[in-house]
Amino acid sequence: MPKERGKSVYDCDICGKSFSLKSYIATHKLSHTGDKPYQCDICGKSFTQNSHVTKHKLTHTGEKPYHCDICGKSFSLKSYIATHKLSHTGEKPYQCDICGKSFSVRVT
């Protein structure tokens, strides 16, 4: 039931969280059911998304396709290298809303 283009229009009937695409809400609902329909054929670990299985399999192959252009260190996931690069810049973009201290890694 899209309302306006570019707006979140699909609401989760369990928690009320909104999504812009129908496929996003379908994946989100798995977080409520605990279903993990995608499984690693190497170790059997289960995931909510097939793309997570693909990324996970890098732990078995040892493949690290992302390389830091500053120090050359290699990483299996793009998000890991982004966090690593903060160690070179000293940037700490995440701030604790309780004490105000800043961190380079976001912890939920």
Q: What pLDDT score was predicted for residue 41?
A: 96
Per-residue pLDDT tens over the stretch 51-63: 999 989 988 998 9
Give the whole-angstrom CA distance, residue 71 versus residue 77.
17
Give the whole-angstrom CA distance, residue 14 versus residue 6.
23
Q: What pLDDT score was predicted for residue 5?
A: 54
Per-residue pLDDT tens over the stretch 7-47: 668 999 999 999 999 989 988 999 899 999 999 999 999 99
Domains plus CATH for the chain? 66-103 (3.30.160.60)
Q: Which alpha helices (DSSP H) does 16-106 contain, by range?
A: 22-33, 50-61, 78-89
Average confidence (pLDDT) over 70-80: 91
Q: What is the mean pLDDT of the chain?
A: 88
